[in-house]
Structure 1
Amino acid sequence: MDDRGDRRGYRDTDRDRDDSRRQDDYRRDQSGISASSQQVTNIKDEYDSSYYRSAIGPRSSSVSAKKTIPASSIVMERFYAYGAGGIPLKPGSKSAAVVAIKENREREKRELGQLNDRFASYIERVRYLEAQNKKLQLELDHLRGKWGQQTSKVKEMYEVEIQEARRIIDETAKDRATAELRAKRAEEDTKNYRDKYETLLAGRDSDRQKIDVLQKQLADNEADLNLFRRRLADLEDESKRYRLESQKLISDIQRITQELDQETISRVQLENEKQSLEEEINFLKQIHVQEIEELKQTNLTGTALDPSNFFKHELSNAIRDIREEYEQLNNQQRTELESWYRIKVRFVWYKKLNNFQTSSSLLNVT
């Protein structure tokens, strides 16, 4: 307790004198800390980009007191140990991963703040120890002139304490650099996950729009398909009807053709009969002319009977009957030919109409 009171007294009296020395020693310590922190830069390669686990955990400290020599002060030695803990991030549910990353990031920020505070306290303690070291160095110089070899032992004792303090500062700087690297990696991972999440959201929206367009096209195609099916059914019914009509017309044409053939044969026969009758008329004319000549030669006269007029009248009646019969037969054949011609024209017209409707339906379907 007396040694601690002496320290506080020396610190109050020598503060103004040691300000410049503290600044010089602080710059020297900062250069040593930066050199030790460069050894931690290669820790970045140990972390995977897909999974991240925080290595910052609760700290445990142990304080040990060691008395050096009876006349000197008690040196406090503090050792810090760091535990590991964290939350694994796996590519499962993206919303849960983002929340976990945010929570982990906030926790690591708080821990970084605590580390910075502790690091500042360590720096302050190092400054204090350096000031004490310088003060003790002066005491050693003063005592060295009095005691001689005992000053070397005091120097070795305080050098051990200074080395321990520097080791603690190096470890703290290393832990701080590690925590900063982890925080930076956590920020990068959070940004990557946010970009992936936004990309997935944009892809989902575009896929929904495509699905809506495809569903609309599918409905339109189904409606067109049903319309085409109805048109096809109507065309099939109409085709069946035209097929039946065409079969009926074909049978009528075949029947009329047969009748026409028969009529043609009968016409040929009648023409033959006509020719034979005309030959017979000519023959009868010749006979009648000869009979008239014979009657003229016999010089038969009479007022009651005129043979020339009688035969002439009979011949004209026979010729008129034959002509009427021939004209009647000719008119009948002409009527049959005209009806056959009309049926043929009607069949050709129906056929052309059917072909036109079939081609129109095919064009509408395509």
Structure 2
Amino acid sequence: MHTSTSYRRTFGSPHPISMSSYAPVSSRMSSSGGRYMRSMSPVVTTRSSTYQQQRSRPTTQSTRVAYDKVDFTLAEAINQEFLTTRSNEKQELQELNDRFASFIEKVRYLEQQNGALQQELNQFKGQQQHGQPNRATDIFQEELRELRHQMDNIGKRGTSIFWRGTTWLRTWACSSRGWYQYDEKEKKKLEDEAQKRADAENNLVAFRKDVDDATLARLELERKIESLMDEIEFLKKLHDEEIQEVQVSVQTQQLKMEVDSSVRPDLTGALRDIRAQYETIALKNMQESEDWYKSKFADLTESAKRNTDSLRQAKQEANESRRQIQSLTCEIDALKNTNEALLRQMREMEDQFGNEIGNYQDNVGRLEDEIRHLKEEMARHLREYQDLLNVKMALDIEIATYRKLLEGEESRITIPINLGMSNHFGDRDFEQTPSTVSKRTVVIKTVETRDGEVVKESRKEKERDSDRTDKDDHDE
């Protein structure tokens, strides 16, 4: 019985990481890498997830009630950040692969140029050997050395980029596996908290809409007040112009009357009557216009008061909405702090449970070793006991044989003594009664065990005298 077997039976088998997601990257790198990518294969060491399973069980059970009331905006932000980082890392890996491919292409191009230059160099060397000197040999040698140096640098850079990409792939695989487990574990709770957050945002949008409506109503009322004030100013100007026109007409008529009075002095009374009549009409018009202006101003004042009350109520509602938003913001901050505290507590509990699981596994292994040792000792004691039973049975058989021999000798000796005594005492009759011997059956059961299991079992039956058996038991 091994520790790993009992551990897998208790906590389940580990879940290996699928490498299908890394196949395109490795195939792309191997296709673009040429001879530098022949030995590349993304190897990701898998670890048993039983620790996370065992660790997540008590944690989720103990903090389930607390998570139902916690806002997981921080976890959602972390998840979003992880997704962004993951996409950025994929893009960076693609760029590295492209750069590496471009380096490989450049190396191939430089190798082709190097081959062409080598051929030209061989031609020039052949010309020199045939007695034709060439002045460009040193230049070609210098360029050849520079190209070789560039090829070496590019090869080194490509190798370093390849190993960096491989290391990044391994790290990314391990981190993505941990984040995937975390996402699977917290997905439902994040959805619930996201729904709560969406409801709060909808309420906030409704409050903002009410505030916007109140602001628009206030602006509309202010616009109406401004238009009414402009209308009042216009009416005042119109009234002043009418008064001026009446005054001008009165003055002209007065001048006409004065001119006519010089000709016709008998019309003075008529002019006075006409002037009084016009003044009365002017006063009447003035009074009517003032009354109309006053009524209009009263209506505008009342409307402004109503609009002011509506605006004040809208401002109060906006302030109340602002206070609610502030209270909700404070509550969100408190929930975020609670979430962070619970996450810290969860990590501490995970570490504690991990240590306890390690101790329990050590104890289980030690107890299994002790059980195996005790089973071995028990089997050894059973074997020793079986050997002792076999020895005892052999000794019992030997003792019974010796006893039968002794009884036969005693009976052979006692028969002549009884005959002599019967002749000597003739007047007495002795009746010899044969001793009754009772027998009983003894069952010997042999059991052979191995590692605590019965391997072989045998049973033997033997008949023995009861008095001998009693004596044997007494002797034992």
Q: TM-score range by the shorter chain?
A: 0.3 to 0.5
TM-score of the two chains, using structure 1 as the length reference: 0.39
Q: Rg: which structure is higher?
A: 1
TM-score of the two chains, using structure 2 as the length reference: 0.30
Ranked by relative contact order (alpha carbons within 8 Å, sequence separation 6 or more), the top structure is 2
